[in-house]
Structure 1
Amino acid sequence: MKNFRKITGAFVLTFLLAGGFIFAQDKAINANQLPKTAKNFLASHFKGVAVGSAIEDREIYGVDEYQVYLVNGMKVEFDSSGNWKEVDGKHQKLPYAFIPASIRNYAAKSFPNTYIVKIEKERWSYKAELSNGLDLEFDRKGNFKRIDD
């Protein structure tokens, strides 16, 4: 009887996990369906650059994130509330207005003749990739921590 319960429990657990993967899906959406915060970010920092496509990443519990592909090749990821998580310029210089000043200043002073091509905002830190391929890590306040290998 104990073996039957273990097998049944394992089957139920497997079914629930598989169900999570089945219901988690990406959905193409219109740029007008993005959260207001995301639309404002794009209008402010990518003025005149059209949205090529927008993807809503859905999980069982709701929207996890949005991925926006701009016609100039750049990609912007937003959280479920529309706050930016990552901006990837695909080797193009990013607009700097949304990047914390301490990060912009450190990159310009320490690595002249380069520019930021990608930035990620994580829970406790920022990661910035420069045009020369270096990856820089900063704390949540924008203070330089290290060069990431």
Structure 2
Amino acid sequence: MKNVKKITRALTFILLLSTGFLFAQDRAINANQLPRTAKNFIAGNFKGIAVGSVIEDREIYGVDEYKVYLSNGTKIEFDSKGNWKEVDGKHQKLPYGFIPAGIRNYVAKSFPNTYVIKIEKERWSYKAELSNGVDLKFDKDGNFNRIDD
């Protein structure tokens, strides 16, 4: 009897896990299907750079995020509402228009011959990677916190 219960529990767990994977899927979409906020972000900051592909990351409860790959190699992650979460230039200089002024100013003053190649917006902070390999942490207002290891 104990073995039957264990087997039933194991099968139920496997069934629930596999059902979650069926509903949580990535799928390719057209760039026109992105939220307006994301489309405006791309048009305003990456003018003249074509969108190569867009992946919609769906979870059981709906869209979790969008991953946009530009023709120049840049990868942009957006949340479900189209707000940017991460921009990775793949070692290329990122446009500064969307980067908070505090971060731009700190980088220009403290690391004059470098530029931001990747930036991540976290809940309470920002993380920026510079062209020289240095990772910097900033608070939500763009004030420098520390060099990140």
TM-score by length of 1: 0.93
Question: Which residue of structure 2 aligns with residue 144 of structure 1?
Answer: 144
- CA distance in 2: counterparts of 1:140 and 1:106, whole angstroms: 14
Bigger drift between 91-100 and 139-148 goes to 139-148
Question: Which residue of structure 2 aligns with residue 125 of structure 1?
Answer: 125
| Structure 1 segment 1-149 matched on structure 2, within 5 A | 4-149=4-149
- CA distance in 2: counterparts of 1:6 and 1:145, whole angstroms: 51
Bigger drift between 12-21 and 106-115 goes to 12-21
Q: Which runs of 4+ in 1 moved over 6 A?
A: none
Paired positions, count = 149
Q: CA RMSD in A?
A: 1.4
Give the superposition deviation at 1:19.
1.7
- CA distance in 1: counterparts of 2:21 and 2:55, whole angstroms: 17
Structure 1 spans left out of the alignment, 5+ residues: none
- Percentage of pairs with the same residue: 78
Give the superposition deviation at 1:9.
3.3
TM-score by length of 2: 0.93
Structure 2 spans left out of the alignment, 5+ residues: none
Give the superposition deviation at 1:142.
1.2
Give the superposition deviation at 1:4.
4.3
Give the superposition deviation at 1:6.
5.0
2:21 match: secondary structure: helix
Deviations 1:51-97 (A, max 9, x none): 01111111111111101111111111100100000000111110001
- CA distance in 1: counterparts of 2:70 and 2:118, whole angstroms: 14
- CA distance in 2: counterparts of 1:33 and 1:27, whole angstroms: 12
